[in-house]
Structure 1
Amino acid sequence: MDQPGFTTSLVAGGLAGVSVDLILFPLDTIKTRLQSPQGFNKAGGFRGIYAGVPSAAIGSFPNAAAFFITYEYVKWFLHTDSSSYLMPVKHMLAASVGEVVACLIRVPSEVVKQRAQVSASSRTFQIFSNILYEEGIQGLYRGYKSTVLREIPFSLVQFPLWESLKALWSWRQDHVVDSWQSAVCGAFAGGFAAVVTTPLDVAKTRIMLAKAGSVTASGNVLSALHGVWQTQGLAGLFAGVFPRMAAISLGGFIFLGGYDQTRSLLLRLGRESP
């Protein structure tokens, strides 16, 4: 990828990520508390709804930027013809590699954020320090496997669906979709992907919130899912599905629409500058 494209993807992805994480943070807190082992009310209910926001604010820009740089680079590297039937496979592969890279930044931020969300009286830095003291760097990456196992299926659904909807809309109107149309496609793709991957999100939350040394804290996704199924059944596996779907649908609208808009604007400015 050329230098302007690289820089554009970094800036556009980072700005889109920060916007989504900060605007939709209350919905994310509600979702986390619904999924927590102690239950919604004991985890804080509707109190301290912005607990953990410093962790999200610090991690969101580099996380989103890392994803989109990787996503665009892999798409460019594979350079499949746009009419090829392999196009969805390219988008799936690019999104999957992007998630693996982005999770290196996302997981430590997510661990601190989620623990702050269910313990609103504790400060974010205090939680971060406690994790390092009690578990070391490894504690910050607890749940890395479960996060990747959640994000890859999510991306396998969301990004090919987003790209396909944009291509269909472009074909129907005989010109490239506008940013708001890209955002609508992103909202639909994100909401659908959010629903089908909610059980994996529940498992990831339980693993990140589990006490150090416990069976759940070991990071076994199937074991975490089995534990939820045994104690809460199907309702437990889909705990928080509505705020998650709402947040990701709105997030898809803002994130993917904002990314397309910002990227187009920056590329246009780059072409116009001497």
Structure 2
Amino acid sequence: MAPFILATKSEKYPGVSLGFADSCKSKLCISVLEQKKPFASITMSEDKPFDFLRVLRDGIIAGGTAGIVVETVLYPIDTIKTRLQAAHGGSKIHWKGLYSGLAGNLAGVLPSSAVFIGIYEPTKQKLLKLFPENLSAFAHLTAGAIGGAASSLIRVPTEVVKQRMQTRQFNSASDAVRLILAKEGFRGLYAGYSSFLLRDIPFDAIQFCIYEQLRIGYRVAVSLLVLLLFVLWEQHVCAITGAITTPLDVLKTRLMTQGSIKHYGGLLSCTNTIIKEEGLAALWKGIGPRVLWIGIGGSIFFGVLEKTKALLAHQNSSIDIKSDSLKQQ
């Protein structure tokens, strides 16, 4: 029988004896102890100093990779949604060329997704240090909104060019950019910007807040059933949010694809014209493909994001170990 060890309290883990803490230095034991903090972000580390440039770099790489994968896989669904929303009245929907504009879109998705995650990650970690632990959800919401606002400067022109090509107005991204600038000016690349912000900033903030809480829930989940319930709940909330914001998506599509004709003067003008000419139901066009894209896209995006971040973390760990070993020599 092992001798009795008189232990004192641990400062890092109150209520846990130093004798026990010292015997549990494996990552598994430490992670179990840290699970007691229900609102702590699992990306935070108390042992290592915050490396802004590394977090920014990893966020850019992971975000860009996830964005490209999602757009490539689900682009046909997005094209169908755009064509349904852009169609006036009983206009015929074309089912060919569902990958029209993909190459040009990826050229914009890569930097916009990279900027979003690249800004979101360091902003989130900074805010988590400022907010009390029981208010960490507000840090996630704020970081998501800031990341969405910053990336919108790239996402909106990309979306305008993409939707013009999806509706077969242009044959190439370069022609689209050149002709939009020539006929509509620089503002033409930001058509529908206000509706885009109204749709995406709240959605991004809510989605990433739920995502962070799910990551925490995954660490404290006592069974696969609990984890499954978390995932189903997240998908349900995102699908509902996507469905509710469909009218804003329709307005955005109409404003972005109208070109120099200017059939709509702005958000209110677009809303009134659509309701008057096509009925209230027209504001819900494309709701099926939109909800489907959000449901599948969220799973793919966060799956690729986490996998890429894990690979980068492993690489960073190897670099740190080599660096420490060189310093000791």
CA contact (8 A) 1:29 1:50 kept: yes
Secondary structure of the 2:195 match is helix
Contact kept? 1:166, 1:185, Cα under 8 Å: no
Aligned residue for 2:295, secondary structure, equals: helix
TM-score by length of 1: 0.87
Percent of counterpart pairs with the same letter?
A: 35
- Aligned to 1:205, which of 250, 253, 260? 253
Residues 66 and 102 of structure 1 are in contact (CA less than 8 Å); yes or no, is this contact kept in structure 2? yes
2:121 counterpart residue number: 72
Partners of 2:175 and 2:74 lie apart in 1 by: 24
User: How far 1:4 sits from its partner (Å)?
Assistant: 2.0
Cα distance, 1:252 vs structure 2: 0.4
From the superposition, tell whether residues 182 and 138 of structure 1 become closer, same or farther in structure 2 (CA, over 3 Å). Answer: farther
Letter in 1 for 2:251: A
- Go from structure 1 to structure 2 and tell me whether the alpha carbon gap of 1:227 and 1:123 turns closer, same or farther (over 3 Å shift): same
Partner of 1:223: 269
Moved more, 198-207 or 166-175: 166-175
Cα distance per residue 1:91-146 (max 9 Å; x no partner): 11111111111111111111111011111663332222210111122211122222
1:255 is aligned to 2:304: no
Report deviation, 1:174. Answer: 8.0
The answer for the alignment partner of 2:3 in structure 1 is none
**Alpha carbons of structure 1 residues 261 and 188: separation in structure 2 relative to 1, 3 Å:** farther
Q: 1:121 to 1:143 in 2, by over 3 A?
A: closer
Q: Structure 2, unaligned stretches of length 5 or more? A: 1-49, 323-329
Deviation at 1:183, TM superposition (A): 7.6
Partner of 2:86: 36
Distance 1:128 1:241 in 2: 28
CA distance in 1 between counterparts of 2:87 and 2:220 reads: 47
Aligned residue in 2 for 1:242: 288
Structure 1 residues 68-77 or 232-241, which shifts more? 232-241
Moved more, 183-192 or 152-161: 183-192
Q: Which shifted more, 186-195 or 103-112?
A: 186-195
Matched ranges for 1:173-212 at <5 A: 173=222, 187-212=235-260
Residue matched to 2:72: 22
- The alignment partner of 2:260 has SS state of coil
- Structure ID, larger Rg: 2
Report the Cα offset of residue 81 of structure 1: 7.6
Relative distance call for 1:7 and 1:121 in structure 2 (3 A) is: closer
Does the 8 A contact of 1:191 with 1:245 survive in 2? Answer: yes
Do the aligned residues in 2 keep the contact of 1:187 with 1:251 (CA within 8 Å)? no
> What is the aligned counterpart of 2:63 among 2, 10, 13?
13
- The correspondence for 1:88, drawn from 129, 137, 161, is 137
| Secondary structure in 2 matching 1:212 | helix
The structure 1 residue matched to 2:189, chosen from 124, 136, 140, is 140
* TM superposition shift of 1:39: 5.6
Q: Is the 8 A contact 1:14 1:62 kept in 2?
A: yes
Quick check: 1:53 aligned with 2:99? no
Give the counterpart letter for 1:214 in structure 2. K
Per-residue CA deviations over 1:4-56 (Å, capped at 9, x if unaligned) read 222111100000000001111000000000100436854x5211111111221
**Match for 1:171: what amino acid?**
V
Displacement of 1:171 in angstroms is 2.4
Q: 1:78 to 1:28 in 2, by over 3 A?
A: same
2:220 to 147, 163, 171: 171
Matched residue type, 1:7: R
- Superposed CA RMSD in Å reads 2.8
Whole-angstrom CA distance in 2 between matches of 1:266 and 1:185: 29
Asked if structure 2 preserves the Cα contact closer than 8 Å seen for 1:189 and 1:249, the reply is no
Displacement of 1:193:
2.6
| Matched pairs, number | 269
Distance, in Å, in 1 between the alignment partners of 2:121 and 2:178 is: 35
